[in-house]
Structure 1
Amino acid sequence: MAILRAFKAIRPRRDLADKVAQLPYDVMSSEEAKEMAKDNIYSFLHVDKAEIDLDENVDLYDRKVYEKANENLNKMIDNNILIQDKKNNLYIYRLTMDGKSQTGIVGCTSIDDYLNNRIKKHEYTRKDKEQDRINHVDICDANTGPIFLTYKYDDKINDIVNIWMKKEVVYDFTADDGVRHEVWVIDDDKTIKSICNLFKNVDSLYIADGHHRAASAVKVGIKRRRENPNYSGDEEFNFFLSVLFPHSDLRIIDYNRVVRDLNGLSTEEYLFKVSKKFDVEVYEGKEAYRPFRKGTYGMYLGGRWYKLAVKEGTYNSDDPVDKLDVSILQDNLLAPILGIDDPRTNDRISFVGGIRGLGELEKRVRQNDMGVAFSMYPTTLEELMNIADAGKVMPPKSTWFEPKLRSGLFIHKLK
């Protein structure tokens, strides 16, 4: 039984939505954010990356940064750039990229569902990244970026959403990256109740993206509970901002790997070792090699692409993590041959989201004659959910979701 709750969103004035809405804070550096926002006083980066409005010598985690974020958020509200709805609503948020749409319901989910594992995770979080967002949420007194959740497709929920999308759209704009963003407001109490009741029949929600934002929102909620020992459970700090998509809508794209060197091996020695666990074939195509099924990989080495296919019997585990392509590559090539023992901490490996194209892999290898890159077949939603259901954690950089949800379209105040 998953809890979904309507809320009074703070959201942009209709004519400013495209100027306010921005990519999530964690997909860009401070320098990139400053450049993106320099000619846009409405940009939500002034809230999510408030260091861009301070002296560059101020530490990213200084309290001044979070206080500036709160100041900028309140200024946007005071200047009617952002306006709070007068009643509790749900919202529909549709993103369209390359002709494919994904349609989610925006509302608030429960910190208790997170704590009780009804909202399931598949990644570890880092305490320093958690603390950053804890400070941001607590000092701004708001969830400023939504958590990207998914659930197993439900016909009845889908039918309600499709009917409501025939009504007037409140935001409809295409961002600079070509992604179209559309929003509808569900303001009918009967419809809201029906949707929330249908989610009570959903066994689990799964975090697709936003593990640090989710963990931080929950910890702020726990902190507020300690500060308010007589809390009823109905207060806003018991819930956090989420967008819930049916799993059938979502698209995971490849998350590729680049290793700086061959770990002291010659090309011939390296290929010989790889051939013990993988069938290796030179790829004669003109384009970069993109794997077409599970268990296959592209490898860019010495100015040419190779096709790799894992040999039968290389792995026999029933563990859903061990069966992932990223795990097979890590356990049978990256660790034993290239010496990448811990991809989370080893500085010889880097990860490149497939949205940047396979040409980026070639470029990075050419910058270092001894480098090697691997193009991956994308992890599936089913694999992600199986691992989360088993209470396990995926290897780092296993999934890359596109398109990215925009921050600034919905803000949830904690009181």
Structure 2
Amino acid sequence: MVKVIPFKAVRPTRALVGLVASRPYQSYTVDERDSRMDYNPFTFLHIVNPGYKYDQVITGEERYKLVRNRYLEFKEEGIFITDDKPSFYVYKIVNRHNQVFNGIIAATSAEDYERDIIRKHEDTIELREETFKTYLKTVGFNAEPVLLTYPDNAIIADIIKKTQKKHAEFEFSMTYRDTHYLWKVNDDAIIKIIQDEFENMKTVYIADGHHRSASSYLLYKEEKEKNPSHNGNESYSFFMSYLIPESDLVIHSFNRLIKDLNNLTKEEFLIKLDANFRIQNRGTIPYSPSKQHHFTMYLDGEFYSLYLRKTNYEFQTSLDELDAQILYKTILNPILGISDLRNDNRIDYAHTHGTDEVVNMKASIDSGEYKVGFGMCDASISQMKQIADDGLKMPPKSTYILPKLRSGITIYEF
């Protein structure tokens, strides 16, 4: 049983929402952030980067307290308003590739996370979890929903479709050329139908936001232990999520860019690869793999196709079927000596959208910054779910998932 509840969102006014909404803080370069804050007094970046006001870098709990102050200022100035009735929020994104994403913003249960009803497919870093938990405890809100996916449901789809025939609360476009729409759902009967449909589901899956959900869970545990009257309905027992059907989820992959060949010559490296792959030199024409267990490699000005020799590789678990895991077990770790995919500074990642990203991989290597690059096919939703169901975790940067959400459009306070 999946528990979702409506909540009173804090959100920008209709006139200012397009100016307030921002990409996640870390996705901007320093110059991009400064430019936006120079010319846009309403951007959510002013809240999450409060040191900008004082022209200095502020970190740790001092920064978190200032984030809280900036947030309260936005409320006091009327940039943010608070809905007067708990609601679900139907949310639609049409991105620059004309991909359409439809779903519901709701508060989801930390207890469901604990009980593995909300399932994970990616490892998290403990330090980041604890750091973000402290941040949440100080600021008192979620500003960017966790992306969850659920099995396609005809009743929920019909509610979304009918809701979208009404006038939207928000309709705005971003500089990334994506357009966002939001509708309130505060009719008690419709809310009950939505909740009943989710209660009939056994599980939902985290698509994006593993650290945010893990940190919200840690905060829930801490607050629960301190509260002798805890009953599970407290605001800290929930975190904000955007739930979309599986058919709307888009998964891309990440290229792997490696800075050296681990003291091997090009010839020695290719010979070691031959143990697990059939190798074909494709020359200078960009090559992208067309099926699972096929890879592209760019090395020394040439593309190669690598076909896994399945007689030499054991498929013991669902994780072993994942191309990112195959690449790690056959090349990155045993040949290139990269054991810690999260922290080894010899490896970088670049998300993919097809041939253009293969060309970008080539440019990165030709620049001399990297020595070799690898590309693979996109993982599937069924792979992601099976790995989560089996209690296994994908290597980092196994999936680049769309949609990418914005901060500051709906805010959940706790």
**TM-score bracket, shorter-length normalisation:** over 0.9
Amino acid at match of 1:330: Y
Change (3 A) 1:226 1:33: farther
Query: What whole-Å deviation, never above 9, does each CA across 1:356-383 have from its counterpart, x for those lacking one?
Result: 8233312221232870001121111111
Corresponding residue of 2:300: 302
Give secondary structure in 2 for the equivalent of 1:173: strand
> 405-414 or 258-267, which moves further after superposition?
258-267
Corresponding residue of 2:141: 142
Give secondary structure in 1 for the equivalent of 2:225: helix
Change (3 A) 1:310 1:144: same
Give secondary structure in 1 for the equivalent of 2:409: coil
1:48-197 counterparts in 2 under 5 A?
A: 48-58=48-58, 60=59, 62-97=60-95, 98-197=97-196
Give secondary structure in 2 for the equivalent of 1:333: helix
1:20-39 counterparts in 2 under 5 A?
A: 20-28=20-28, 32-39=32-39
Change (3 A) 1:50 1:389: farther
Give secondary structure in 2 for the equivalent of 1:184: strand
> 19-28 or 238-247, which moves further after superposition?
19-28
Query: What whole-Å deviation, never above 9, does each CA across 1:54-92 have from its counterpart, x for those lacking one?
Result: 55343x3x2111011101111111111110000000001
Deviation at 1:228, TM superposition (A): 2.5
> 122-131 or 4-13, which moves further after superposition?
122-131
**Cα distance in 1, alignment partners of residues 200 and 328 from structure 2:** 38
> 338-347 or 243-252, which moves further after superposition?
338-347
Corresponding residue of 2:213: 214
8 Å contact kept, 2:51–2:57 = no
Corresponding residue of 2:11: 11
Query: What whole-Å deviation, never above 9, does each CA across 1:1-59 have from its counterpart, x for those lacking one?
Result: 0001000000110011111111123434666533433321111122234344455343x
Residue 330 (1) aligns with residue 289 (2): no
Query: What whole-Å deviation, never above 9, does each CA across 1:371-412 have from its counterpart, x for those lacking one?
Result: 000112111111111111111111111111133111101101
**Cα distance in 1, alignment partners of residues 143 and 12 from structure 2:** 12
Residue 365 (1) aligns with residue 365 (2): yes
Q: Which runs of 5+ in 2 are unaligned?
A: none
Provide TM-score, normalisation by structure 1: 0.94
Give secondary structure in 2 for the equivalent of 1:14: coil
**Cα distance in 2, alignment partners of residues 165 and 369 from structure 1:** 48
Corresponding residue of 1:235: 234
**Cα distance in 1, alignment partners of residues 325 and 148 from structure 2:** 24
Provide TM-score, normalisation by structure 2: 0.94
What is the percentage of aligned positions where both structures have the same residue?
Answer: 33
8 Å contact kept, 2:149–2:246 = yes
Q: Which runs of 5+ in 1 are unaligned?
A: none
Amino acid at match of 1:250: L
Corresponding residue of 2:397: 397
Change (3 A) 1:180 1:337: same
8 Å contact kept, 2:293–2:323 = yes
Residue 408 (1) aligns with residue 382 (2): no
**Cα distance in 2, alignment partners of residues 391 and 303 from structure 1:** 40
